[in-house]
Structure 1
Amino acid sequence: MHTQHPQSEHPQHPPIFDVIIAGGGPVGLFLACELRLFGLSVLVLEQAADTHTPLKRLPFGLRGLSVPTQEALYRRDLLDTVRAAQHSPATRQAAHWLQQPRQPAGHFAGIQFYQDDIDRSQWPLRLPDAMEGSLPVALESFETALAQRAQTLGAEIRYGMGVSGLKANDDGVAVTAGAAHFNGRWLVGCDGGRSTVRKLGGFQFTGTEPEFTGYSAEVELADPNALPPGRHYTANGMYTFARPGTLALVDFDGGAFHRTTPITLHQVQTVLQRVSGTDIQLTALKLASTWTDRAFQASSYRHGRVLLAGDAAHVHSPLGGQGLNLGIGDAMNLGWKLAATVRGDAPAALLDSYQQERHPVGAAVLDWSRAQVALMRPTPATRALAAVMRDLIETRDGATYFAERVWGVSLRYPLGDGHPLVGRSVPDFELSNGARVGTLLRGGQGLLLQFDSSPSLAPQLAPWQRQVSYVAGAVQQNLGLRALLVRPDGVAAWATDDLADTTALAAALARWFGPQHS
């Protein structure tokens, strides 16, 4: 990695950053780490003066990291740091399913599927020791780890400075944050579902309006035993209760109460009584927030020099915990492409592939969220449909399908015809010298891997040797492959079990790594 500092084109003008990121949440911070890995100057502007809020702490701050997110963290040497927090007593208490004799693997609209029902033999392109499942973490600790890494890598982070204005042209973006002004060659909005960058940038944002108001609350009950723990569907909605006083409520009111008036003890008690069908009495409201199932997506993730990632590009209900993972996937996909564009290494269409690859993924997650809402409606027809769905999920094929979707195992970008591994996450092959593919990706370069002693493919790589490393060596489990090309984000760009014709290799190198360098 080389360090590149912001430049000032005139002593009286603000410095010019390669990239300004609006939003210092996990997506913005992970993107900052990616861009610094490639040597770009990065400024992160975060509206909140103090990002350590109670809603980011346990139990409400509990998040599950999908397989693609875990792989992204592993490939950037962050997974061990994040995983360490999983073993804290507080995290294990909040992730109560870890204590169950039969291990749940996830859920769809609250319908559990289990680890022992999943048929991993249906995933022949994954190694037996591949990452699986969802890694529970506290949002606060996750965000802290990313902020520390971003600052260690040299990103500049300014808190209490939300973007309030922007002016973009073909050369860059002028950004206003309060009374301060900054210049960047590119601006990325990672500033959440109510994104200022999205609004000021003129992005079209369309989708479906909410059907419910969701509540997350920490309360005290007059009778701690008045509510049974667990998830319960009723004639008026859904509630989940964990003792001594953690509540999640879904009230099918069309989202009428979300952010309209302050949340009071009386309001939460009224909704809980209606949804639960009891006369439950609450004596204290310690913490509460609301959310909805509003599902909207930007039609384009880029307008000129302005891009969107994370919730700024797509919003949906938090059911199933897909939002954070979707945003980290955006950042992993965008980072190396934007860096190559800034450096001048990228082919003309490389940055366009961010929209082409990530927009369909976002659209699929929004539909997945909508489908869960449809299965939660408090009607007899929906409860009958949920019973059918439960029967399907309890089958081996059903559990495997839902694991693929919820864990992110089925993610594949449409990179064209060819080997079925192309477009998927590369397996973490271990070479004979002990090196693993995931650790080889930590420097941010692409990889050309060759697993046999055939004539070396290294000469074909010569024009791209600055961007792609050649690695040769035998592996114990090669999944029938003899060679493959891996993008910096860990996605297989070319793979073959036959080295007789490597024409497609040259095409893949040119497509992803741009102008040839001698």
Structure 2
Amino acid sequence: MHDHHPPIYDVIIAGAGPVGLFLACELRLSNLSVLVLERAEDPDSPLKRLPFGMRGLSAPTLEAFYRRGLLEEFVAAQRAEDAASKTATHTHWNQQPRRPAGHFAGIQFYHDDIDITKWPYRLPSPAGTSVAVALETLETVLARRACSLGAEIQRGFGVEDFLASDDGVSVRAGEKTFRGRWLVGCDGGRSSIRKAGGFEFVGTDPEFTGYSVEVEITGPDALRPGRHYTPTGMYTYARPGTIAMVEFDGGAFHRLQPITLEHVQAVLRRVSGTDVTLTHLRSATTWTDRAYQVTAYRKGRVLLAGDAAHIHSPLGGQGLNLGIGDAMNLGWKLASTIRGDAPAGLLDSYQAERHPVGMGILDWSRAQVALMRPTPSTRALEAVIRDLIGTRDGATYFAERVWGVSLRYDLGGSHPLVGRSVPDFELVDGTKVGSLLREGNGLLLDFDRSASLEALSSGWRKRVTYVAGDAKDRLGLRAVLVRPDGVVAWTSESAADDEEAVQAISRWFGEPEDAGGSAR
């Protein structure tokens, strides 16, 4: 007998990039059935390897991976990759006397200028503030984790169209139809889910075409290594043949025709002002500073995350981090909604929290473009920003933004920690809070071991882990409620107010389990 009824998945995810794979991991923590559909038959691509595949991971991303027990895997996998390819030191910013901490429109700031005492609510953590990893390593580790957790990944199935109703979504990919309760588009900047769903996509059009190329050069000394602003654009060169360059042509060349050796040489000559000769084009890709965002991250049972929801230039490497942040924010909220124990409006908080963050990153990338235009007034402005970024306060401000340390959701609490990432409190027994979030539950940290707090939290014990015990540095707090995504939802500085604690837990975790808050 053949079963003619295909399975109905809790969630179908379009796209097996880092965002789709990490979201699949998050949903599997709640035992939901998850299908990931990916257009590409083979995940392998030279653009995912070094040097072009290098991605800087910011503090919120590193914290997300640390809290889910993934960080050590990434670091080990990247070390092995670096050792095998010997490329770890090829980038021009690794060959400097001072340790660079990031850049804004190519203007670097340095670790020794940053004043970390300005961030009193950050405690030492294995997560750190920035790490570089190859996209290939990232996807390999995330795919392995998603599969080990029981997610299903089908490659060679690009979602073409879907039909959504009040109780589910029917998805067409190639010759096959898949059915799910919910659909999440993590299918990149040219998202077919976004287009098929008629999501409104608004923003600003490109000013330039960017090129990342690996070439062979006659006389590699014809170009000076490092980053250079010129009267016609900007280029960065690392020997022997890695070049990134920007030509202010309104994005005219991007994706319109194949990238040839002759074209790359012509652009490089225009931008660098030299008569450099290229003999071989190994690999090349183009990009622009087009900055667009959907007005709504959700339509009924269809949601968007990552580049499907927002696109911008890769300057400063914010895009991947923004997408991982979307997945970390959405996963537990969608899971709670599907399980049936979500409080009213929980899923709406995904849009309320992530849309403003996306808007801020788009503006950050636009500001960098404004500082790169090849005009005398822009060069004058760039000199002012360069002076500012070289000061202690300036470097600290830029680090805060680039590293994601300043991220805070407006959750309405009066304490400065509410809405921020939970500090990695170390309990007196040596346990770190980051390790207590692996299962994807909420946490109620009770530093005072209050019997009443323990009693009231028992109503949510399947969703909120109660942890009693003092911390080596409790930052003046007596109790802290942490959401599954590691965001502080509530704090208490005085003897815990039980009524306030109940309201805080109910706001994020719904009704107590013994009051009809059903587990599926």
**Which residue does 2:61 correspond to in 1?**
69
CA distance in 2, matches of 1:34, 1:248: 35
Q: Aligned in 2, Cα 1:500/1:462: closer, same or farther, shift over 3 Å?
A: closer
Q: Which one of the candidate residues 48, 71, 74 is aligned to 1:79?
A: 71
**Which residue does 1:4 correspond to in 2?**
none
Structure 1 residue 34 and structure 2 residue 29: aligned? Answer: no
**Which residue does 2:5 correspond to in 1?**
13
1:289-324 CA distance string (max 9 Å, x none):
100000000000000000000000000000000000
Structure 1 residue 295 and structure 2 residue 287: aligned? Answer: no
Unaligned runs of 5+ in 1: 1-9
Three-state SS of the structure 2 residue aligned to 1:300 is coil
Structure 1 residue 60 and structure 2 residue 56: aligned? Answer: no
1:169-201 CA distance string (max 9 Å, x none):
110100000001100000000000000000001
**Which residue does 2:272 correspond to in 1?**
276
Q: Aligned in 2, Cα 1:434/1:128: closer, same or farther, shift over 3 Å?
A: closer
How much does 1:92 deviate? Answer: 1.9
CA distance in 2, matches of 1:133, 1:423: 18
Structure 1 residue 92 and structure 2 residue 56: aligned? Answer: no
Structure 1 residue 47 and structure 2 residue 39: aligned? Answer: yes
The answer to whether the Cα contact below 8 Å between 2:16 and 2:186 also exists between their aligned partners in 1 is yes
CA distance in 2, matches of 1:292, 1:150: 32
How much does 1:456 deviate? Answer: 4.4
Structure 1 residue 483 and structure 2 residue 486: aligned? Answer: no
Unaligned runs of 5+ in 2: 515-520
Structure 1 residue 185 and structure 2 residue 177: aligned? Answer: no
CA distance in 2, matches of 1:453, 1:466: 20
**Which residue does 2:220 correspond to in 1?**
224
**Which residue does 1:315 correspond to in 2?**
311
CA distance in 1, matches of 2:460, 2:114: 41
The answer to whether the Cα contact below 8 Å between 1:19 and 1:40 also exists between their aligned partners in 2 is yes
1:314-363 CA distance string (max 9 Å, x none):
00000000000000000000000000011101012000000000000000
CA distance in 2, matches of 1:376, 1:39: 48
The answer to whether the Cα contact below 8 Å between 2:92 and 2:225 also exists between their aligned partners in 1 is no
CA distance in 2, matches of 1:374, 1:390: 14
How much does 1:95 deviate? Answer: 4.8
CA distance in 1, matches of 2:194, 2:399: 33
Matches for 1:362-381 after TM superposition, within 5 Å:
362-381=358-377
Matches for 1:490-505 after TM superposition, within 5 Å:
490-499=486-495, 501-505=497-501
Three-state SS of the structure 1 residue aligned to 2:182 is strand
The answer to whether the Cα contact below 8 Å between 1:85 and 1:91 also exists between their aligned partners in 2 is no
Paired residue type of 1:249: M
Of residues 457-466 and 178-187 in structure 1, the stretch that sits farther from structure 2 once superposed is 457-466
Structure 1 residue 168 and structure 2 residue 168: aligned? Answer: no
CA distance in 1, matches of 2:168, 2:125: 45
Q: Aligned in 2, Cα 1:297/1:470: closer, same or farther, shift over 3 Å?
A: same
Three-state SS of the structure 2 residue aligned to 1:164 is strand
**Which residue does 2:406 correspond to in 1?**
410
How much does 1:430 deviate? Answer: 1.2
The alignment of Structure 1 onto Structure 2 pairs a total of residues equal to: 509
Structure 1 residue 506 and structure 2 residue 502: aligned? Answer: yes
Matches for 1:134-145 after TM superposition, within 5 Å:
134-145=130-141
Three-state SS of the structure 1 residue aligned to 2:513 is coil
Give me the CA root mean square deviation. 1.3
CA distance in 2, matches of 1:129, 1:194: 36
CA distance in 2, matches of 1:94, 1:221: 16
How much does 1:417 deviate? Answer: 2.7
Q: Which one of the candidate residues 195, 200, 206 is aligned to 1:204?
A: 200
Structure 1 residue 25 and structure 2 residue 17: aligned? Answer: yes
CA distance in 1, matches of 2:143, 2:368: 33
How much does 1:84 deviate? Answer: 1.7
The answer to whether the Cα contact below 8 Å between 2:389 and 2:395 also exists between their aligned partners in 1 is yes
Q: Which one of the candidate residues 187, 190, 195 is aligned to 2:191?
A: 195
**Which residue does 2:518 correspond to in 1?**
none
The answer to whether the Cα contact below 8 Å between 1:108 and 1:372 also exists between their aligned partners in 2 is yes
How much does 1:51 deviate? Answer: 1.6
The answer to whether the Cα contact below 8 Å between 1:91 and 1:138 also exists between their aligned partners in 2 is no
Three-state SS of the structure 1 residue aligned to 2:406 is coil
How much does 1:91 deviate? Answer: 5.0
Percent identity between the two aligned chains:
69
